[in-house]
Structures are given as structure tokens and as C-alpha cells.
Structure 1
Amino acid sequence: MKYVNWFASILILLNVSCNSKNENAIKIYSDTPVSTNFIGNGVQWSAYPHADTEDAEWGKLMTDEKWEMNFMRLDYMQPKLFRVLDQANWRYLVGFDKNGDPVLDFTTPEVKAVEKILDYAQTNNITVMLGEWGTPYKVHDTDQGYSDKFSGAADPKWINAIAEYLEFLIKERGYTCIKYYNLINEPNGYWASNKGDFNEWREAVLLFNKVIREKGLDQYVSIAGPDAVTRYDNPESTYPGLGWVEESAKQIGDGIGIFEIHDYTAHDLVKSGEFKIFHKQAADIAAEEGKQIIFGELGMNRSGQKNQDRASADPFACEDSQMEVYDHSYGVYMADAVIQGMNAGFSGAAAWALDDAMHTCGDLGNKNELKRWGMWNSLGTEICNDPADENIRPWFYSWSLMCRYFPVGSTIVKTDTTGIDGVRLTAGVFNDELTVAIVNNADIDNVLSLAIPTKKPVQKFVYVEGESKVDENGFPVAVEKDIKSGKITEVSLPANSFVLFTTLDY
């Protein structure tokens, strides 16, 4: 912990100097961790079920060149977390025998497509949360007549199939990047395969844990859960949204490896700072259990009339689209949300989503019903006849920096509140490196007085509408790279902007 003492001594200069210069000066308390062993921020990335193989609905549109485009952009982002959800019947469940038992094939082209993501994650030390949308044929029914093949989430046939798949991926293929398993997407929802039944989901989790112990897989992988949408209370569900976190702790305990939730959050909740207050309730439950907590899906609410009108006007978007991904503002709100989450004690967040080309409404494969949530659309040319739709969108700027400059193992430390409406910051320490991220989610310009407490050169990035500096690839470029030690920096925060300082220089 040598770096902490050094860092604290520098902060004496920070606190004294700032307080003497500006009433808006903030303090960073390096000896007061909010969370340790930070997992990191990342994205939801699915293996393009409509376009990944010759037999997919659209054919093999995801060529090697398309995959390489994604890899190059991710190389800059340096995500630390992937959530990769799928369906057994999309990949490795190829039918049933005469006894009604699943027939599994782990060598299909569809499995090979998933392995492209896992190869990238394994090579780049990215934590993978693998999982399934729900019990096969209970979520995305098909015309194959299999809807009655599984009794529910706790059916041993399904759980054993999952365990065999994991055994193949981890032990045979060596994908030790798979750390967590996500059993049923958003199980508190009416749309989930278990229809919000906590007891069914709990029994499935308990059975999953039993089976992976028997296979010796528990040293590699554990359950991420409850995966609930905590700000959604399904009247037909066993418990309200936050209650799923509480009851997971009470009823499953050590059967949960990491707590994990979702939020497609309200703009007003983020802008007011109430986002942190609400989600700290879940983070506190996890902390009491001695566990970490992450957002498995994080995005902004899409239900506003303006957004729905924009989706309706787009011939390739379905109603489950967030058209604000084309706007500068989305990068501000997403940065604000993840900053508040980190300050509440969350150890990471996966943004929904990387790429429009991953999913359609109901995953039916209709080309005019893309789920527009991505940082780009890999198939803009092929599906939308619009090559420009493959370009990086504005919110990549802020999200990529929140991934890139908060390394795995960082300590997120306490900071003062700024006292300015809409202005928030978070700070991470990694060895002797420091990153400070600041958002101004207000409609007016603001200024903070800030000393950069390091002896190292500091980079400064600025995300502001129409003026964000990027290179020829669309990747963020620092506006300053030689901020000196001990310098008091009057940080200009334009309205609706994001600023990041870091000593890390890749």
C-alpha cells in the first residue's frame, strides 16, 4: 500500500491549495476506498445470431472484415467486462433424441461464432459473464415444436446441458475468461421465461451450483445474479425489483458469486444525482454479503415520446431502440450514470449495447426491426444501405474512456461532492496511477478548481458537442498531455460535457 501513503501526502497539497483558491475546490480521499479490486466497465456483446453463419437468417454477413472492425475499435476501448448472452437452441442444442433428452453439439458454426468473442476476451484478459436469455423455447418460441421439452428453469435437462457447454468451453477450449454465469435474463420481468417467479429461478440457481460443483467447474465460474431490473416492480412477480437483490442474499447466499442488476434509467434520475442514491441500496446489500456488484446492462430509458417518434421514423429501427445513441447527449448521460454507480460501490458496468447488428425485436430476424442501441451498426451497408451507419457514434467517446482508464484492480476512492447541480466526479487509483472523470450534466457552463495530485504527466480528454478531439479512426485524442505536477487547474466544464484526467498513457 505504499502508493496510498504517497498519494495521501500529495493530496495535502491538493486540499490546501484548492481551498485557498476556489470555493468549488474538491477533495479526493485516497485512504477512503469506495470499492477495491474494481472489475471494470465494458459492453454487452452478442455473437450476431442473425448474421454469424451461412445458415443464419441473413446469411454470413459478419465477415472476417466486420469482426476485425469491431476488434480494432475494442482495442482502443479496452473493455474490462463482456456480458455475452445467448440461447442454447441458437448454438449447441441441436435437437432431442427419442427419449426427449437434449442432443448437444459444441462444434457447430454457431458455437464457433461465440468463440470469436471468447478468443478476444481470453487474449485481452476481459472478464466474461456468459449466460442464456432463458429456458429454451420459453422465451423465443419457434415453430420447431419444442416449447414443452423443458419444464422450466430448474429442469435438470437444461441445467446439465449448460454445465456440459461450460465444461467444454472452460476445460477443453481453455476459456478461463468466463468467470460468471447469468441464468435467465431479467427474471423478475413478465417477459422472462420464468415470468417473474423467484422460486423457480432460485431452484435453478441452486441446481446449477450443485451441478458445477460435481463437475469441478465451481473453481472457474459462479452465478451472477439476480440480473433483475431493480427499478421495475412486476406486480405478478414474487418480489419487487430491489427485493430480488435482498432475497437473493437471504435465500441463496454463497450461491451468488457476484451481484448483478440492470437499469434502463430515467434521465431525470441521473441528472438529479438520485441514480446513485437508489442504486446504493443494492450495493450496500452486496457489501454486507462481502460480494461485488455490477450492472449487467446499463442504458437510458427509451420510452419518451420524442425517442419513440424517432424510432418510428427510422425504417430499420424497432420500438425497442434508443435513438439518442446518435446524439452527443447520450455520452454525457451514460458517463454520469456510470460515475454515480462507481461512487455507489459498483465494481463495473456493461453498457447495452456494442452494436445495432446484434439483435432485432423478438430476435425474429426482421431487417427493418433492428434494436438500435449500439456504438455503431456493423451491417449499416448490408442491412440499411448506409455505410455511414457503421461509423462510431458520439457516446463511444466517453464510454471508451471510462473503460480504458479505470484498470482492473483499481481502487475507487471517495471524493467530495462538488456542490454544483449536475457536476459529479469519480476517481480511481491503480498502483501509482490516477484517473479522475468529471461530468457536467447541466445546461450551463461550470468551473472546478482541481490540482492533479501526481508527479507524472497527466492527459486531459474533453467530450463537448461539436468539439471533441478524435483521430482518423474516431478514437478520442487528449487535448493536453503535459499537465505538470502540483499545478492548480481551473477545469472548464462546458454545459453537457465530460472531462477525464489520467496519468495512464498506453
Structure 2
Amino acid sequence: MREEEWRHEGSIRSDEGTIIVDMDHVLVESYMGVGFEWDPSDDYDYTDEQWAMIVERVAFTRAPLIRLMLRANAYTTGWDADGRPIYDWNTPMMLRAYRILDYCERHDIKVIIGEWSRSPEIGLTATDDAAWAELIGDFLVHMLDVKGYSVLLYYNFINEPNGSWATEDGNRFALWRRGMLHVRRMMEERGLTERIGLIGPDSSNEDDWVDLTVYALGDIVAAYDVHRYVNDHDIVSGDMERMVREKRDFVDRYDSEGAAKPYLMTEAGIVEGKDEAHDQQSRVKTFEYGLLMADFAIQTMRGGQAGVISWMLDDSMHRAPGYPAGSGQLKTWGFWNTVGDEADRALRPWYDPMAMLSRYCPRGSRIVYASDSGVPGVRAAAAVIPATDGGGHLTLVVVNHREEEQRIRLVVPDAAGRAVLRGYQYREDERTADAAGYPAPAFRIEDADLAEGMEMRLPGRSVLLLTTLEAGAEAGGVRFASSRNVARHRPVAVSSCQYSNEQGGECAVDGRRETAWVSKRRGDQWLAVDLEAERRIKRIKLLWGEGHARAFELAVSTDGERWTKIFERTDGAGEPEQICPEPLTARYIRVNMTEAGTTLGYSIRELAAYGEPREGVSP
């Protein structure tokens, strides 16, 4: 695709929608990345040729994070006459695990490591068996001290402990909690608590376990995680983002150290179309699966999760249940099948968007807010890769679920100067690849004026990824000239206030998202900010608290008497609002709320205005 077919830059504003990247609204301060499940195979020891194929494909993704699971019976063969465990650190399963971990160690890929469930083969039948925790302690000492792995980040005690396949019948959370406490005690006794953290609850499609973990184990977990296997509607509708955000907010609010703890999606997949009996998802071979999974990842970023792990890398890792032993039937969930025929060994379509996300939203990125496009089925996420000189790199990924091409205007108000961008596209009818068959840029933009904005043309049912990374040494990324929030700490007047000492109007302009103005009641309410001088305004941002307005308008004034309406919404859903009117001059900004969207009073966490003072007027 030629550049002129893709974008129109300049003052033209799309009639269909606008995406504004807000550098000041950070969703994840230090992103951990887009990774995948990479387990030692149940049955296969790969040949050198097979292994070379696997690691070449992994290398292209530049995966920053993986998850690796096994069982205690992989390293424990039984118990001696005195009841002491008998270890074998060189079983076939452990040798397969070392091969993966050695690769991760060489390439600085962080690892979440843990155990699937109990091991009845060696007598471990109880989730809260203290003897199991002792085995885990010896395992971690072996991996950290004997093998010397420095990339082990978190220990995951039991995969999906809320499921009947993982824990005994009864109060599963209570069982898992007791087991977690045994593991924590063991880690303290061995001096491991500063070397590897505990992550949980690792529950599947039961996010209330996050609440329970915050209350019961918040003082011992270093990170929170869940699994989600969803239907297509959960993704296309945007419900995933809401579900993620609810739990991110819960952790921040009720764990006293929660804001500093990552929240991850450690298994991500789509259940619609799955063969339940054999745990096989044939849709991984379709274009559509990649479209949905790309949006899955986008919504985890938008919801504030610090990373996402796709289930899974390679079919050959796990045999399928429900078939006779030795049938060769595998779980079909991977990007390919290493032990399959030529067609099965080929990269499946969904590898492309997930590899691009992994590669160009690297560990250490700052995930910032990309506004709602205004077009149903079109969503975006933005990652900023910081540099020490005040600049950095920018990656924007946009998904379009609609059948029709969409024209969406992209604006990065804080971008300074022009940038060089490379564009990757995921489309059913067109694939751009390099000589080795890996995804390659479809186009290059030499002089993108991101602050002014440019129009993106999104083909129907496609993913577009734009990045300044790898655009060439001469390109130099993008510089950011942070706009001044001229509303911060300015005088505020309000129609009413629920708690004047804690939730007054000043809370809407203090720059802190944990505070908010709250009105006494619903109905007609207003909040107005005095900028104390006439200002040139280019952008206004509105962040709602727990009580948002369904119907509201923004108005501006130079004298506080005569008001001009610049924005109106009658279908508000509590999403952050980014308003980019034509540049205007104002001293006062007022939010008029006429219909509540909840049963609560109205609540505004932040009202911000970006721009510069008029010439001759001091800031």
C-alpha cells in the first residue's frame, strides 16, 4: 500500500472519528509485554532442526515475557523410608524445561513459573499439603541457585485453582489460600521472598477471586493475575476492557500497595468454537482469530493490565484429552504445530498481529490513553518507549472490526516536530512478508505531523500497527513537548459538593486521579474552572469518577457571563473524554451535567485544559 493510499495529513478532520493519544494519562507505567505460554512438551524431545525453527520464530517476536508450568512429579520421584522426597533433576520433563529456560536466560525473557496442580502419582492429593510447599521450596532453590536462572520473576502456585481440574471439591479459595500461605512460609525460611515473587490468583473466568486475594493475601502477593477465555462478543463489544479495568481499580483501591503491583492476563484465548471434549480450538487457523486476539491484547492494555500471555505457543506442547494414549492428538491452540505436517508447521495467521504487538510494545513501555474513536468496533492502544533525552518512540495499534473501511484521524498533541513511521497491516486478503516469511512493513511515512493530526484509512476487518521503532537511525523516534495543563490548581466553582472537606471542586484540578469532586445529587449540576487569564486552548480532557453524566455539555467564556457551547454528549458511558475543538480563547471552562448515568451523584476526577497563554498574558 502506498503512503497516499493510507493517510491524509493536515487540517482535514475525519467525519467518522478521531483517536487522541494523551501522553499525560498513563495507564501502565512500566509495561511487561505481550508474551505466550511456553511449556515443556508432554511427549516430545525436539530435534535440533525443530528446535531451531521454534527459537527462530520466538526470536522474531522479541517476546519479553513467557509463562512455563509443570508438576512436582517432573522433579520428584517419590519418598524414602524416612519420608524425605527423592528428587531427580534430570527427568525428560526437566531437561525440556531447562532448554526453554536456558534460551530465556540468554535473551532476557522474564518467566512466570509454576505448577499446574497436585501430583497424586507421588502422593500429593491435597492443595494445602505443607509437604508440597517443601518440594516447591527445594525446586526454587535448585532453579535459582543450582541452575542460576535470573529471569524467574514470579511463582504461580496452581493453574486455575478455582477449577475442578485443579483443586478438590469444597471451598476452593480457602484451600488455595492455605496452600499459598505454606508456600510463603517456605520462601521466607529459604530467604527467597526478595528473589522471586508470588502471583495470584490465576483464576479462570472468575475475576472475583482477585477481590478475595486482595483481602486475604494482599500482603504476600507481588502481582495479581487472571485467565480469560471469552466469546467473540466480549471482545467486539469492548466488554473485556471494562472487566479488566474494574479489577485494576479494585486492586489500586483496596490493596495498600496495589498501585505498585502489576496485574496481568496470564492466559488469553477465545472459547467460542472450541471443542470442549478435546480442548482444541480450530479457529486458531483462521484470520478472524488473529483479529479478535489483537483486540483482546489492546483491551488488556486499555484496562491497565501490565502484560498479556497468549495461550499458547505451539500445539506440540500438550496432548489433547479424551483420546486414547499414543493417539498423537494434540491441543490445537498454538501459532503452529512443530511435529505436524508441512501445513501444520506453517505460521498461522494470528502469529502476525501478536508478534507485532510483542515486538513493538516492548518491556518498559509506558501505556498511555488512546481515546475512544467514536466508531463502534474501532479501538486503539498506544505505547511510548521512553528515552533519556526527552524523546522516545511511539507505537499505536488500531483494530477495525467493521466490514467497511474507516477513516480515523490520529492526533498526538504532545508530539513535537515530524516523525518517521512504519506501518504494518493484518488483513485477510493481503499479507506483506519478508524473505523469511515474517510480517514486514506495508508502508512508510517519512514526515508525519502527529501533533497536527493525520487521517488513517483502516480497511474493513483489519489491524493497523504504526511505530517509530526501527524506522532507521536517521529517523530518531519522536520528541514530546508536553503541553501545559492550564487548569491545574486553578479556582473552581461548583453547584454542590457531597463532602466539602474531601471532595470539593478543587479535587477536579489537583492533577491526582485518586481524588474527585462529587456532587450532592443528580439532576442539573455544574462545575466551572477559572483559568485566571485568557488562554489559548487546544484540547480539553474530562475524566469521570464513579458517577458519570449520560448527558452533559462543555461551554467556555472570556468573562464568566456569556458562554459558548463547544461540545455536547447525550450518550455518555463514563469513558474519558478528549475534546479537540478548533483552537479557542477562553478564561472560564464549565461542565454542565443534565442527566446522570448512574444512581450516584456526578463525579469528576480531572478536568484539564491544554494550551498556551495568549501573547502578552503571563501563565
Match of 2:563 in 1: none
Q: Residues 98-247 of structure 1 correspond to what in structure 2 (within 5 A)?
A: 98-137=81-120, 146=122, 149-195=123-169, 197-229=172-204, 231=205, 241-247=206-212
Verify the 8 A CA contact 1:182 1:225 in the aligned structure 2. yes
Match of 2:616 in 1: none
- Distance in 1 (CA, whole Å) between partners of 2:16 and 2:337 is 45
**Aligned-pair CA distance for 1:126:** 1.3
User: Is residue 475 of structure 1 aligned with residue 468 of structure 2?
Assistant: no
Match of 1:283 in 2: 248
Q: Structure 1, residues 442-487: CA drift from partner, whole Å, max 9, x if none?
A: 2222111225746442110010002021123321100123431316
Q: TM-score, normalised by structure 2?
A: 0.69
Match of 1:321 in 2: 280
- Distance in 1 (CA, whole Å) between partners of 2:302 and 2:455 is 23
- Distance in 2 (CA, whole Å) between partners of 1:472 and 1:365 is 40
Match of 1:301 in 2: 271
Q: Structure 1, residues 367-402: CA drift from partner, whole Å, max 9, x if none?
A: 34310000000000xxxxx22210100000000011
**Aligned-pair CA distance for 1:366:** 4.0
Q: Residues 414-493 of structure 1 correspond to what in structure 2 (within 5 A)?
A: 414-431=369-386, 432-451=392-411, 453=415, 455-486=418-449, 488-493=453-458
Question: Which SS does the other structure have where 2:104 is aligned?
Answer: helix
Verify the 8 A CA contact 1:186 1:192 in the aligned structure 2. yes
Verify the 8 A CA contact 1:50 1:365 in the aligned structure 2. no
User: Is residue 372 of structure 1 aligned with residue 332 of structure 2?
Assistant: yes
Which residue identity is paired with 1:445? E
Change (3 A) 1:338 1:252: same
Question: Which SS does the other structure have where 1:376 is aligned?
Answer: coil
Match of 1:395 in 2: 350
- Distance in 1 (CA, whole Å) between partners of 2:268 and 2:80 is 40
Match of 2:478 in 1: none
Q: Structure 1, residues 125-167: CA drift from partner, whole Å, max 9, x if none?
A: 2110001101112xxxxxx5x4xx2351221221111111111
**Aligned-pair CA distance for 1:365:** 5.3
Which residue identity is paired with 1:484? D
* Larger RCO: 1 or 2 (CA < 8 Å, sep 6+): 1
Q: Structure 1, residues 80-130: CA drift from partner, whole Å, max 9, x if none?
A: 1111011121x2112221244321122334312101111111122211000
- Distance in 2 (CA, whole Å) between partners of 1:483 and 1:499 is 17
Change (3 A) 1:505 1:150: same
Match of 1:238 in 2: none
- Distance in 2 (CA, whole Å) between partners of 1:50 and 1:38 is 34
Change (3 A) 1:477 1:217: same
Which residue identity is paired with 1:40? G
Verify the 8 A CA contact 2:41 2:93 in the aligned structure 1. no
Which residue identity is paired with 2:44? A
Which residue identity is paired with 2:271? N
- Distance in 2 (CA, whole Å) between partners of 1:136 and 1:110 is 14
Verify the 8 A CA contact 1:335 1:399 in the aligned structure 2. yes
Verify the 8 A CA contact 1:104 1:161 in the aligned structure 2. no
- Distance in 1 (CA, whole Å) between partners of 2:406 and 2:152 is 43
Question: Which SS does the other structure have where 2:188 is aligned?
Answer: helix
Verify the 8 A CA contact 1:336 1:441 in the aligned structure 2. no
Q: Residues 346-357 of structure 1 correspond to what in structure 2 (within 5 A)?
A: 346-357=305-316
Q: Residues 77-116 of structure 1 correspond to what in structure 2 (within 5 A)?
A: 77-89=61-73, 91-116=74-99
Q: TM-score, normalised by structure 1?
A: 0.84
Question: Which SS does the other structure have where 2:39 is aligned?
Answer: coil
Q: Structure 1, residues 408-435: CA drift from partner, whole Å, max 9, x if none?
A: 1111101210011110000011111100
Larger Rg: 1 or 2?
2
Verify the 8 A CA contact 1:33 1:414 in the aligned structure 2. yes
**Aligned-pair CA distance for 1:21:** 5.5
- Distance in 2 (CA, whole Å) between partners of 1:463 and 1:445 is 14
Change (3 A) 1:23 1:323: closer
- Distance in 1 (CA, whole Å) between partners of 2:189 and 2:103 is 29
Q: Structure 1, residues 35-88: CA drift from partner, whole Å, max 9, x if none?
A: 111111100011112113xxxxxxxxx112211111000111111111101112
**Aligned-pair CA distance for 1:350:** 0.4
Verify the 8 A CA contact 1:194 1:201 in the aligned structure 2. no
Verify the 8 A CA contact 2:278 2:321 in the aligned structure 1. no
Which residue identity is paired with 2:81? K
Match of 1:24 in 2: 17
Which residue identity is paired with 1:415? A
- Distance in 2 (CA, whole Å) between partners of 1:293 and 1:338 is 14
Match of 1:6 in 2: none
Match of 1:67 in 2: 51
Which residue identity is paired with 2:288? S
Change (3 A) 1:377 1:18: farther
Using the TM superposition, name which of 444-453 and 474-483 deviates more: 444-453
**Aligned-pair CA distance for 1:246:** 0.3
- Distance in 1 (CA, whole Å) between partners of 2:356 and 2:432 is 13
- Distance in 2 (CA, whole Å) between partners of 1:194 and 1:78 is 39
Percent of aligned positions with the same letter in both sequences?
Answer: 31
Question: Which SS does the other structure have where 1:249 is aligned?
Answer: helix
**Aligned-pair CA distance for 1:32:** 1.0
Verify the 8 A CA contact 1:26 1:417 in the aligned structure 2. yes
Match of 1:47 in 2: 40
Question: Which SS does the other structure have where 1:41 is aligned?
Answer: strand
Structure 2 stretches lacking a partner, 5+ long: 1-8, 387-391, 472-619
- Distance in 1 (CA, whole Å) between partners of 2:41 and 2:61 is 20
Q: Structure 1, residues 338-385: CA drift from partner, whole Å, max 9, x if none?
A: 1011000000000000000011134985434310000000000xxxxx
Structure 1 stretches lacking a partner, 5+ long: 1-15, 53-61, 138-143, 232-240, 312-317, 381-385
Change (3 A) 1:97 1:362: farther
Match of 1:315 in 2: none
- Distance in 1 (CA, whole Å) between partners of 2:11 and 2:437 is 35
**Aligned-pair CA distance for 1:267:** 0.4
Verify the 8 A CA contact 1:449 1:491 in the aligned structure 2. yes
- Distance in 1 (CA, whole Å) between partners of 2:467 and 2:195 is 33
User: Is residue 292 of structure 1 aligned with residue 262 of structure 2?
Assistant: yes
**Aligned-pair CA distance for 1:193:** 2.8
**In angstroms, what is the RMSD of aligned CA positions?**
2.0
Verify the 8 A CA contact 1:209 1:255 in the aligned structure 2. yes
Is the helix fraction higher in 1 or 2? 1
- Distance in 1 (CA, whole Å) between partners of 2:11 and 2:271 is 37
Is the strand fraction higher in 1 or 2? 2
- Distance in 1 (CA, whole Å) between partners of 2:454 and 2:167 is 53
- Distance in 2 (CA, whole Å) between partners of 1:399 and 1:227 is 22
Match of 1:503 in 2: 468
**Aligned-pair CA distance for 1:172:** 1.9
Verify the 8 A CA contact 1:187 1:194 in the aligned structure 2. no
